[in-house]
Structure 1
Amino acid sequence: MIAKINTEPANRRQSYENSADVYSSSFTPLYKLQFNPKDKTPKYKQIVQSVITDIERGVLKNNEQLPSISELSVEYYLARDTVEKAYRELRERGYITSVQGKGYYVQTNSNTKLKILLVFNKLSSYKKIIYYAFLKALGDKATVDLQIHHYNARHFQEIIEKNLGKYNYYVVMPHFTQDLDKVDYMKVLETIPSNELVLLDKDVSELAGSPLSIYQNFDKDICEALENAQDLLNKYGRLVLILPSDGNYPVEIMHGFRSFCVNYNKEFTIKENAIHESLQAGTAYVVVEETDLSELVKKVRQSNYQLGQEIGIISFNETTLKELLNITVITTDFEAMGYTAASLLLDNKRIKVKNPFYMIRRESL
């Protein structure tokens, strides 16, 4: 465990002024040096990294006074030479300055960029849209590091444990299917301060605190999208959802589809894929994966059925190819998700925002 000790002495209440700067000796009591005696990293390097990280995160402000060499030596049982070596490196790298007879002070640009860790469940074409919209909205106000947890709760835990305390914000897509019996991802999320956590794509209502959340309501979204297309769906008595169980898709998609069919007295089926599907007139398909979309379009073209009349197709998520093929699409606004997350983060708002979800009507329905 990383030791976190408050190093502020009670009598530090002085100020120093020269022609260039005003240095305040009121060292913030909120600052806690991150130091682990058991870490194999050289102790002076740990001091250097701790100070740099806190400067970059905005924990340490420009002109704030650091603990003296003696104070750090006593608090952390370190040799004075170790602390002195760390401060010398920090000064040479331009992170701190020294004032003779007064001590060491943070020296940093007041326009320091935010540091953001973005943790996606996977990197797909849709996630790239979110990523680039997020970067564009942040502009030059932040630097963003991207990591992928691949739906694996253990890997997610390792990412957070390795990076906790090193960023201003942690933007997380909390979709998990693996190692849930070994790792409680809720407990991992709770280790992130709620004012530093941003949930993307999926809300976690059970989570304590009030993190910023830009989410999809998967079951409600698909149900409402189908309801809004009732005028087109009236000619179809049977609906088929093609949802692969091994695709890591939210089960809420199935729940929303089933709710619509039950509420509107539609015969319905949920299938793994379209490979062995025998087309029946009066059937509309809701397709998640593009491989199944291609299979269905091929089957329709090889049959005597007319797409958009006897057979209907609705696909998840918009692409240029679906536009060219005139395929009806239900989709969330991926660009809006990235833009909204960045904008609210910069405004320091802690609210929950449902991302837009809509249907693009085309001739396939």
Structure 2
Amino acid sequence: MLCDKSEKIAVDSRTPKYLQVVNLIMEDIEKGKLQIGDRIPSINETSFDFLLSRDTVEKAYNELRDRGIITSVRGKGFYISSTNMGNKPKVLLLFNKLSSYKKIIYYSILDTLGSNATVDLHVHHYNRNLLEDLLEQNLGKYNYYVLAPHFFDHQGHPESAYDLIKRIPKEKLLIIDRAVKDHENEFPGVYQDFAKDIFEVLESGISHLKKYQRLILVFPKGELYPMEIMDGFKRFCFFHDFKNLIVDGVDDDEPLDEGDCHIVLAESDLVNIVKKSREQLFKLGRDVGVISYNDTPLKEILAEGITTISTDFQSMGKTIASQIIGSEDRIPIKNPFRMTIRKSL
């Protein structure tokens, strides 16, 4: 069945070799060449026939077993246990929150996967104890676990939860939205590099920023935003000699200062700045500037257009889904991050 088929493994394909083996067996089932109860070659035999490592073939067989397609009989080998092509991979999304941006990622994943997988969603709310409970309830039930590893301790300090994350089998884990601190290259998936992203995107708009006397980052306390954003902002201001300030909100009683450009994370602070600029007869993009984190359709029309810096959430969902179905390499991938210049700058 599988002998002399090494030429069917495409060395330069974006589909991992183990998934190519899975697909070949699934094709034989679909064509009727394999029936329930048929024995398939051993891991060693398939490794020899396909000129693949034993680990690669074992990974393929584990994938087929997880899908319920094959079963192993001790001392005898592997057998087809189901020819039901409806046995789709099961995916568990473990998000930190369900914001409007996470919804974009979620629906992008669903759209890209289509009917190729079934997807469940749980939210851990930045809480490692809740993640631990979710893992205890769900480990072994899914083919893939997609985790947004945003966690904070009781004092509000970021933590990696690496000890918990390691409980998920490595071949089944994909990270999304951020890398695991100090283990950035260990897990496949798609992530934002918050410090590098804000540094590089502000550099891309430096010609617009130079007309302002001071840059102000509005970073709300207690909102669990990535601290790396502050690090990247400070680094940019230092390297390019910008006067700067970091505040935790836009004070209702404090007027705006002409010549300031605000970078805001929270929508409420954005609204306050727009209102204050109108009250003080300041023109956005001339007297004061504003840049808002994360783009939305509303920001395109608010105050004649708000400049945004944002990751591409649809691309993030598409990339993670492509890694699940094997059309994208399972490696750590940095998600695109860009500035959209509008009249507020």
- The residue that corresponds to 2:37 in the other structure is 23
8 Å Cα contact 1:195/1:211 also seen in 2: no
CA-CA distance at 1:25 after TM superposition? 6.3
Distance 1:20 1:164 in 2: 30
Q: Please give the per-residue CA displacement for 1:216-270, whole angstroms capped at 9, x wherever unaligned.
A: 0101101111111111111111011111121110000101111111111111111
Number of residue pairs matched by the alignment: 287
Equivalent residue letter for 2:37: Y
- The residue that corresponds to 2:94 in the other structure is 119
Equivalent residue letter for 2:95: F
Q: Please give the per-residue CA displacement for 1:173-213, whole angstroms capped at 9, x wherever unaligned.
A: 000114589x9721110011111100001012534984312
TM-score between both structures, scaled by the size of structure 2: 0.76
Structure 1 258/210 Cα, relative in aligned 2: closer, same or farther at 3 Å? closer
Distance 2:91 2:100 in 1: 21
Distance 1:343 1:61 in 2: 22
Distance 1:298 1:320 in 2: 19
Match of 2:207 among 216, 231, 250: 231
Match of 1:265 among 226, 231, 241: 241
- The residue that corresponds to 2:18 in the other structure is none
Is structure 2 residue 310 aligned with structure 1 residue 331?
yes
Structure 1 176/278 Cα, relative in aligned 2: closer, same or farther at 3 Å? same
8 Å Cα contact 1:61/1:106 also seen in 2: yes
8 Å Cα contact 2:291/2:306 also seen in 1: yes
CA-CA distance at 1:110 after TM superposition? 3.5
Q: How does 1:212-223 map to 2 (within 5 A)?
A: 212-223=188-199
Distance 2:237 2:249 in 1: 19
Is structure 2 residue 215 aligned with structure 1 residue 242?
no
Distance 2:136 2:42 in 1: 26
TM-score between both structures, scaled by the size of structure 1: 0.72
Structure 1 65/306 Cα, relative in aligned 2: closer, same or farther at 3 Å? closer
Q: Please give the per-residue CA displacement for 1:97-121, whole angstroms capped at 9, x wherever unaligned.
A: xxxxxxx973341441000000000
8 Å Cα contact 2:150/2:160 also seen in 1: no
Q: Please give the per-residue CA displacement for 1:74-123, whole angstroms capped at 9, x wherever unaligned.
A: xxxxxxxxxxxxxxxxxxxxxxxxxxxxxx97334144100000000000
- The residue that corresponds to 2:297 in the other structure is 320
Match of 1:211 among 184, 187, 190: 187
Equivalent residue letter for 1:204: V
Equivalent residue letter for 1:106: S
- The residue that corresponds to 1:33 in the other structure is none
State the secondary structure of the residue aligned to 2:170: coil
Moved more, 256-265 or 199-208: 199-208
- Structure 2: gaps spanning 5 or more residues: 1-32, 44-60
- The residue that corresponds to 1:341 in the other structure is 320
CA-CA distance at 1:350 after TM superposition? 2.3
State the secondary structure of the residue aligned to 2:121: strand
Equivalent residue letter for 2:255: S
Equivalent residue letter for 2:245: T
Q: Please give the per-residue CA displacement for 1:42-83, whole angstroms capped at 9, x wherever unaligned.
A: xxxxxxxxxxxx99974365464668xxxxxxxxxxxxxxxx
CA-CA distance at 1:352 after TM superposition? 1.1
The sequence identity of aligned pairs, in percent, is 42
